[in-house]
């Protein structure tokens, strides 16, 4: 059900890990649903100089994280934001339909990390220009992701 | 089949079974025909019926051949309910039955029956007092599995029979047949589901034991084969294969189960050495071929894929591997949270597993778990 390309990324995931003192961090998903991703970025001159991920989830979740970080690395912020769910899925030679929704969260994690960076560098105007208001609200805790089990997640993480 | 640890999902057909089946693909005779070719097919079916009956200490005329355990379970539930609805419309079953029990129950609920679902404890044992308290005047059937196909827990069927007295009892023995003793005389069940593939027979064949005097309404109507309970020209080669598989099982299962039990215990002992790993299901009252464990911080599908890269095939109860994107109902029924069920790994042993397979599994599993944990943001938080 998975493509050869996807397996290749699952076997040898790129950019796994964490960045010390990251410029932006984005976490999406939750362990109740079975997928949770954290992306960290280092930005210099508006270019994503370094990017790392950590993912809890199925094969598709890990492979989409891997390829999304690979595509985003070295790109200007505006270019990196063009990495959509569809772009990620296409780059892997497609995803099984039931995996499109639940495991293809890598582009969301990337958007979140970028928004976090822009927020921390006081580029609020740009957040608006780039259409990242929703991500900003989530980061500021004004809005939650489309999951209701947030408290359970916290419980699990703090267990 | 090296490294195959997914026998609960599917078994290979035993070579001896296949050999015995082959000639019957070529016999043209319909078992219902009176001529010699028909007679030959009929004789083969009746011989197989005797072998299957003998395996569970039943009479041959109490065995109805079906297309598999799913059909047998449907016939046992829906067939029984339709025929006996004048006596009552209440049925008791457990929360951890196979979907081929739970979905027929759902169907019956929509059609005027009431179902009580018995909860299980953290090891997967049914709550006997719940059963006792659920029994009503209009309870017509109790259906409880002999052993669970996912967590391997063996149910106290004899105690259930003591509690339920004369209420007819259906036992789904799909997972237990050929692993532990399935004896109609001790189980005292009235209906028992049997599967061919689970004892190394072909797929597409199963049987329902129907105790003399128990009345069912057929679900498949037609020419009246199988005493009118299951119409359709018989799957001769398949039934022959099931018969031979039953004969082999009768002779070999005790020794085989002892061997697999040693493998099972070695695997459990070694797997639980991995940090934050837990056994699902009862430690002792457990099928000899079943290991179900869970690992914190990782997800089961990615673990199954990781093991497959190393030449080990296993299974998981994680939502991410299911069609419905829901975690295993069995794991949630034993009280696991969704995030705990996601990290489950199901290892089921069988006839062709060797010491080498077990060594390989024990060697490969810790590093596969470690690799995924290093990628997991949950592990980082520790």
pLDDT tens profile B250-277: 999 999 999 999 999 999 999 999 999 9
pLDDT grade, residue A150 (50/70/90)?
very low
Q: What would the DSSP string read from start to end of B218-269?
A: -SS-SS-TGGGTS-S---HHHHHHHHHHHHHHHHHHHHHHHHHHHHHHHHHH
How close B380 gets to chain A, by Cα (Å)? Answer: 9
Judged against a pLDDT cut of 80, whether residue B321 lies above it is answered with no
Please pick, among A100, A102, A130, A153, the residue that the annotation labels catalytic: A102
Record: contact A13-B375, CB cut-off 8 A:
yes
Nearest residue of A to residue B321 by CA position?
A: A58
- The 10 Å Cβ neighbour count of residue B133 is 11
Residue partners of A151: CB distance under 8 A and separation at least 6: none
- Give the per-residue pLDDT at A146: 57
Lowest-pLDDT range of A66-75, A103-112, B61-70:
A103-112
Report how far apart, in Å, the C-alpha atoms of B264 and of each of A60, B289, B304, B354, B355 are: 31, 6, 18, 12, 11
Chain segment B347-380, per-residue pLDDT in tens: 999 999 999 999 999 999 999 999 999 999 999 6
Residue B249 at interface with chain A, using a CB cutoff of 8 Å: no
pLDDT at residue A158 greater than cutoff 50? no
Answer whether B45's CB lies under 8 Å from B24's CB: no
Q: What is the DSSP letter of B14?
A: P
In this prediction, residue B57 carries a pLDDT of: 98
Closest CA–CA distance from residue B294 to any residue of chain A (Å): 14
Query: Which residue shows structure tokens 């109740």?
Result: A32
What value does the mean pLDDT take over residues A112-137? Answer: 95
pLDDT at A152: 43
CB contact under 8 A, A35 and B320: yes
Q: What is the nearest CA distance from B175 to chain A, expressed in angstroms?
A: 27
The pLDDT assigned to A99 comes to: 81
Instruction: Give the end-to-end CA distance of chain A in Å, rounded to a whole number.
Output: 35
pLDDT digit string, tens, across residues B3-58: 999 999 999 999 999 999 999 999 888 999 999 999 999 999 999 999 999 999 99
- Whether the CB of A47 is below 8 Å from some CB of chain B: the reply is no
Element (H, E) at B271: helix B236-271
Band of residue A148 on the pLDDT scale cut at 50, 70, 90: very low
Shortest CA distance from B380: residue in chain A = A54
Nearest CB among A36, A58, A61 relative to B378 is that of A36
Global pTM? 0.92
Evaluate whether A112 touches A28 at the Cβ level (below 8 Å).
yes
Q: Which of A36, A115, A21, A34 is nearest to A77 (CA)?
A: A115
- Average pLDDT on B281-296 reads 97
Collect all residues of chain A within an 8 Å Cβ-Cβ radius of residue B301: 58-59
Q: Which pLDDT belongs to residue B380? A: 63
- For residue B59, pLDDT over 50 is answered with yes
Please compute the mean of the pLDDT values over residues B71-88 and round it to a whole number: 98
User: Domains of chain B: which residue ranges?
Assistant: 15-249, 253-381
Residue ranges with strand state E in chain B: 63-66, 90-94, 114-118, 139-145, 169-172, 191-195, 206-210, 277-279, 290-295, 344-348
| Inter-helix orientation angle A59-72/B300-309, to 10° | 80
Can you give the pLDDT at residue B29? 86
Q: Report how far apart, in Å, the C-alpha atoms of B269 and of each of A146, B167, B363 are.
A: 41, 41, 13
Residue B152 Ramachandran class (φ > 0 left, ψ -120 to 50 alpha, else beta): left
Q: Tell me the average pLDDT across B129-157.
A: 98
Q: Is the pLDDT of residue A142 over 90?
A: no
Given the structure tokens 């030679």, which residue do they identify? A93
Instruction: For A31, name the nearest residue in chain B, comparing CA atoms only.
Output: B339
| Partner-chain contact B376 A56, CB within 8 Å | yes
User: What percentage of chain B has pLDDT greater than the value 90?
Assistant: 94
- Asked if the model's pLDDT at residue B74 lies above 50, the reply is yes
Domains of chain A, earliest start first: 4-158 (3.90.1010.10)
Query: What is the layout of strands, in order, in the sheet containing A24-30?
Result: A24-30, A35-44, A47-56
Closest residue of B to A65, CA-based? B375
User: What is the three-class DSSP state of A120?
Assistant: helix
Indicate the average pLDDT of chain A: 88
Architecture of domain B15-249 in CATH? 3-Layer(aba) Sandwich (3.40)
A22 touches chain B (CB under 8 A): no
Where does the pLDDT of residue A31 fall: very low under 50, low under 70, confident under 90, or very high at 90 and above? confident
Greater model confidence, A82 or A104: A82
Residues of B in contact with A98 (CB under 8 A): 323, 325
Exposure string for B111-125, b = 16+ CB within 10 A, e = fewer = eebebbbbebeebbb
Chain A hits for B323, CB-CB cut-off 8 Å, are 98
In Å, how far is A114's CA from the nearest CA of chain B? 18
pLDDT tens, A67-87? 999 999 999 999 999 999 999
Q: Provide the number of CB pairs (under 8 Å) joining chain A to chain B.
A: 77
Compute how many other C-beta atoms are within 10 angstroms of the C-beta atom of residue B269.
10
pLDDT one-digit tens code per residue, B325-343: 688 999 999 999 988 999 9
User: Which pLDDT score, from 0 to 100, does residue B323 have?
Assistant: 66
Q: Which residues of B touch A28 (CB under 8 A)?
A: none
Q: Does the distance separating the beta carbons of A38 and B377 come in below 8 Å?
A: yes
Catalytic residue among A19, A33, A47, A87: A33
Q: Is the pLDDT of residue A104 over 90?
A: no
Q: Which fold has domain B253-381?
A: 3.90.1150
DSSP β-ladder status, B139-145 and B169-172: parallel
Give the per-residue pLDDT at A151: 41
Starting at the edge strand found earlier in the chain, the sheet holding B90-94 runs: B63-66, B206-210, B191-195, B169-172, B139-145, B90-94, B114-118
What is this model's ipTM? 0.87
Average pLDDT, chain B: 96
* Interface membership of B374 toward A (CB under 8 Å): yes
Q: How confident is the model at residue A145 (pLDDT cuts 50, 70, 90)?
A: low
Confidence at A97, pLDDT banded by 50, 70, 90 = confident
| pLDDT for the residue numbered A100 | 78
Catalytic site positions of B: 320
**Residue pLDDT, tens place only, B100-117:** 999 999 999 999 999 999
- Is A58 among the residues known to form the active site? no
Who contacts B261 (Cβ-Cβ below 8 Å, separation ≥6)?
B288, B289
| For A149, nearest residue in chain B (alpha carbons) | B338
In this complex, which of A59, A152, A156 lies closest to B302 when CB atoms are compared?
A59
Q: How far is CA A75 from CA A78, A83, A84, B348, in A?
A: 8, 10, 14, 47
């Amino acid at each position: 059900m998975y493509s050869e390309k996807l397996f290749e990324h699952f076997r040898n995931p790129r950019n796994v890990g964490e960045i010390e003192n990251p410029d932006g961090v984005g976490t999406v998903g939750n362990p109740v649903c079975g997928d949770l991703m954290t992306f960290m970025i280092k930005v210099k001159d508006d270019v994503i100089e370094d990017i790392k991920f950590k993912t809890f989830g199925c094969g598709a979740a890990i492979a989409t994280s891997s390829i999304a970080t690979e595509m985003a690395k070295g790109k200007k912020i505006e270019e990196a934001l063009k990495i959509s769910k569809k772009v990620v899925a296409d780059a892997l030679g497609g995803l099984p339909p039931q995996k499109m929704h639940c495991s293809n969260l890598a582009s969301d994690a990337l958007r979140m990390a970028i928004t976090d960076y822009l927020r921390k560098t006081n580029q609020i105007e740009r957040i608006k220009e780039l259409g990242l208001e929703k991500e900003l609200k989530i980061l500021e805790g004004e809005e939650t992701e489309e999951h209701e089990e947030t408290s359970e997640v916290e419980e699990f993480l703090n267990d | 089949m090296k490294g195959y640890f997914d026998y609960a999902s599917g078994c290979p057909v035993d070579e001896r079974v296949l050999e015995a089946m082959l000639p019957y693909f070529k016999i043209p005779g319909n078992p219902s025909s009176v001529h010699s070719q028909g007679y030959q097919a009929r004789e083969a079916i009746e011989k197989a019926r005797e072998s299957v009956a003998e395996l569970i200490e039943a009479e041959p005329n109490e065995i109805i051949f079906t297309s598999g355990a799913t059909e047998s379970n449907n016939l046992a539930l829906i067939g029984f309910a339709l025929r006996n609805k004048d006596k009552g419309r209440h049925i008791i079953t457990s929360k951890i039955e196979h979907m081929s029990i739970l979905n027929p129950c759902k169907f019956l609920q929509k059609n005027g029956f009431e179902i009580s679902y018995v909860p299980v404890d953290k090891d997967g044992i049914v709550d006997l007092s719940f059963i006792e308290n659920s029994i009503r005047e209009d309870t017509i059937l109790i259906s409880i599995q002999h052993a669970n196909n996912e967590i391997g827990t063996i149910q106290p069927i004899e105690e259930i029979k003591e509690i339920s007295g004369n209420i007819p009892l259906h036992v789904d023995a799909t997972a237990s047949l050929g692993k532990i003793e399935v004896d109609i005389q001790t189980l005292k069940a009235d209906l028992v589901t049997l599967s061919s593939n689970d004892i190394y027979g072909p797929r597409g064949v199963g049987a329902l034991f129907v105790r003399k005097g128990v009345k069912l309404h057929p679900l498949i109507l037609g020419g009246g084969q199988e005493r009118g309970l299951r119409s359709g020209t018989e799957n001769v080669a398949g039934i022959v294969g099931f018969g031979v598989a039953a004969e082999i099982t009768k002779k070999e299962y005790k020794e085989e189960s002892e061997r697999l039990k040693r493998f099972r215990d070695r695997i459990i002992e070694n797997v639980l050495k991995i940090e934050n790993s837990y056994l699902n299901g009862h430690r002792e009252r457990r099928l000899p071929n079943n290991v179900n464990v869970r690992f914190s911080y990782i997800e089961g599908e990615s673990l199954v894929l990781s093991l497959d890269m190393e030449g080990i095939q296993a299974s998981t109860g994680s939502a991410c591997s299911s069609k419905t994107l829901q975690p295993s109902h069995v794991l949630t029924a034993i009280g696991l949270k969704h995030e705990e069920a996601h990290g489950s790994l199901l290892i089921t042993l069988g006839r062709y597993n060797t010491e080498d397979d077990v060594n390989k599994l024990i060697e490969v599993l810790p590093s596969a778990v470690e690799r995924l944990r290093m990628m997991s943001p949950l592990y980082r938080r520790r």
